[in-house]
Structure 1
C-alpha cells in the first residue's frame, strides 16, 4: 500500500510521513506542493475562494499514480487529481476546513475524506482575545507611533476606551473555537451572547444563545468564528453593521468572506462602529491601495491567528490519529463525508486497506 504525503511551506511532507508510520506497513512517500511561504499564502487563498479545480494536478501525484492514501494540508484535491489516481481510497487534510478538497467528487468516487477539527482552535481563540484588546486599547497603534518617534496619547476612541469587565461579547459561530473564546472570557467578568443556528445541546453557564439581530445590537465586541458557506457569505453586511453600537468593535479571525468589506470600510470611515480587527482579507497580501490601510480605527494582521508552534507540529499526528481511529473501529472519527460508507464497495476497500497495512480488522 502506498501513502503519499504532500506538505507545503507550513507543514512539510516529512512531518506527515513520520506521523503516517503509525498506520502500519506501507510504502510512504513524502514531498511538497508549495515551499515558498508567500506563494503558499496566495495559492491557498485562491483555492479556498475558487475551489481546488483552479489548480492543475500537482506533478508529485502524477509521479505516484498508484497512491491509495494521500495526506496533506493545503494542496488541492480536485476531481482531476482523483481521476489521475485510480487507486486512491483515502484523502486526509490536517485542517478543519476542507475547501481544498472536492468533497462531492470524492464521495462520488468512493474516497473517504478525513480532516482535523480543532487543530488550531487554541491558537485562534487566543488570538481573537488578543485582537480585541489590541484594537480597543490601541496597543498596535501606540507601538507604531513610538516606532515612528511619536509619543501618541490620542486615538479615535479616546473618549470611550473600554475595559472588558461588564461588557457584552458576541460570538458568531459556536463550534470548537467559539466555545474556547467563551471559556477564555469567563475570567473577564463579561456577558457572552452566541449566534449559531446549528448549536445543539447545552451551552456553558454564562452563555446565552440569541438571534443574530440581538447579538449585533447588544454586543460591545463581535467576534466571528463561523464557517464560510454560500449561506454565511457576507453574514456581516451593512444591515448588521447598522445594528451595532457606535462604541462596538468587530473582530474576524475566520474567513474574510463573512464580512462585506465595502460595507465595513464605510462603517469605519463614518464612525458607525468604533473599530475592527482583521486577520483575513479578500485578497492576500492586502493591496497597498486598499482603503482599510488609510483608517486609524482598524488593526490588521497577516493571517497568522492559527499559526503557532503547537498548532503546526501536532496537526499531522492529529490527522493520522483520526484515520487510525477509523481503522480501529472507533465511531468518534471526523470523516467529512460519512455518507460515502453507504456506497457500494467502500467498506470492502476499507477492509482491504486494513489488511494491506497489516492491521487486525475491527469488530463493527
Structure 2
C-alpha cells in the first residue's frame, strides 16, 4: 500500500445508517475510506465475498458472525471494531491467535432497561392494539382490559445487573418479584431484593409476567422450553429482551396461537431480522420490536465515538479496549 492510499473500512449491518452520523470521523478521514452496509450478508460465502478487500471491519453487535471458518477466509483482515463491550458472534480467541485485534466499546444510559419496561407496559396494557384501533376508527372505543401490575408477580429468569434493576422498577409499581436462574442462590436473590424461586417450574407457575435476562451460551440455548411455558397462567405475559435462542420459539408460537397465555412482548428472535413470513408477524397477541432494546441516541454516540477512537488506536499501533477470550 502506498503512503497516500487509504485503508478500507467496512461498517456492517448498519440497519439505521447511523454509523457515520453518530460520531465525528474526522480523526481518521484522511487515513481510511469507509463503506457502509445497511443489510446483512446471509451466508458465510456472502460474508467472505463482501469483506475480502477490508483490513478493518466495524461489526454492529452480533449481526454478522465471525467464527474461525470465516476468519480463515479473510486474509486481509487485521482489525475488528465491534460495538458493545463483548460480542459472542466473534471467535475472539481465534482472531487473537491469527494476529487480528478485536476492540469493543463502552455504552451509555439505560436503554435496555427502559425498553424492558416499555415492552412490559405496552404488552400488559395493549397499547399497540388500542393505538391501532383508534387510528382505524374501530367501532369499539375501548377493546382490551389491561393487566393491573400492583400486587402481581414478576418472574425474572436471570437476576444479574439488568434483572436487579428491572426488579427495582417493578417494586415502584408495587409488584412482587421472584427470581430464578441455573446459578442463582438464595443469598444472591436477597442481595438483589427479589424472592428466591426454588425452581424454574415454581417461577413460571407463580408469575403474572415472566421476563428473561440471561446471557446466551451453549448451556442456556433453549433454556425455556414448551413445558415451562405451559405452566404459565392463562392470564400471564411472556417478555424476552435478551436473546431469541434462549427460548424454544416454535413452542412459544404454538402456545400463543392456542391462546394458552394472554400474550408476549418480544424484542429478540431465533433469526434476525425476523423473516417476512414468520408466524409471529401474524399473531394478534404479541407486541414485537426489532431488537431495539439497546438502541438510543446516547448509546449510538458511545458505540460509534469509541469505534472511531479504537480505529485511531489501531492505526497508531496502540489498540484500545482490546477484547480477549
TM-score normalised by L of structure 1: 0.69
Report the equivalent of 1:95.
84
Paired with 1:115 and 1:143, the residues of 2 have a C-alpha distance of 39
**Dislocated runs of 4+, deviation >6 Å:** 1-4, 320-324, 327-330
Residue number in structure 1 paired with 2:269: 281
Confirm or deny: 8 A CA contact 1:115 1:336 kept in the other structure.
no
Tell me the residue number matched to 1:6: 10
Unaligned runs of 5+ in 1: 48-52, 338-364
CA distance in 2, matches of 1:280, 1:33: 24
Give 1:207 shift: 1.8
Match of 1:57 in 2: 48
- Asked whether 1:312 is paired with 2:319, we answer no
Distance 1:306 1:20, change over 3 A: farther
- Unpaired stretches in structure 2, ≥5 consecutive residues: none
Write the deviation string for residues 108-163 of structure 1: whole angstroms up to 9, x where unpaired.
Answer: 3254533346x3772122111111111111111111111111134233xx4xx421
Residue from 170, 177, 195 that aligns with 2:162: 177
Match of 2:98 in 1: 109
Secondary structure of 1:92's aligned partner: strand
The 8 Å contact of residues 94 and 315 in structure 1, kept in 2 or not, is answered as: yes
Would you tell me which structure has more helix in proportion to its own residues? Answer: 1
Alpha-carbon distance in structure 2 between the residues aligned to 1:32 and 1:287: 26
Q: 1:266 aligns with which of 243, 247, 254?
A: 254
Measured against aligned partners, the alpha-carbon deviations of 1:163-197 in whole angstroms (never above 9, x if no partner) come to: 11122212223344333322333322222222233
Alignment match, 1:208: 195
Aligned 1:216-227 pairs, distance under 5 A: 216-227=204-215
Please point out which of 8, 14, 25 is paired with 1:18. 25
1:4 CA displacement: 6.3
- Equivalent pair of 1:164/1:188 in contact (CA under 8 Å): yes
SS of 2:102's equivalent in the other structure is strand
Provide the residue aligned with 1:195 in structure 2. 180
Q: Counterparts of 1:231-242 in structure 2 under 5 Å? A: 231-242=219-230
Aligned to 1:342: none
The 3-state SS of whatever aligns with 2:295 is: coil
Which residue pairs with 1:29 in the alignment? 32
TM-score (norm 2): 0.76
Q: Aligned pair count?
A: 307
Change (3 A) 1:208 1:78: same
Give deviations 1:201-226, integer Å, cap 9, x for gaps. 84545223433222212211111222
Give the Cα–Cα distance (whole angstroms) in 1 for the partners of residues 53 and 21 of structure 2: 17
Deviation per CA, 1:197-251: give whole Å up to 9, x if none.
3558845452234332222122111112222323222222211111212221101
For residues 20 and 232 of structure 1, the distance between their equivalents in structure 2, rounded to whole angstroms, comes to 41
In the alignment, the residues of structure 2 paired with residue 198 and residue 335 of structure 1 have an alpha-carbon distance, to the nearest angstrom, of 25
Distance 1:259 1:19, change over 3 A: farther
Preserved contact between residue 108 and residue 302 of structure 2 (Cα < 8 Å): no
- Over the aligned positions, Cα root-mean-square deviation in angstroms equals 3.8
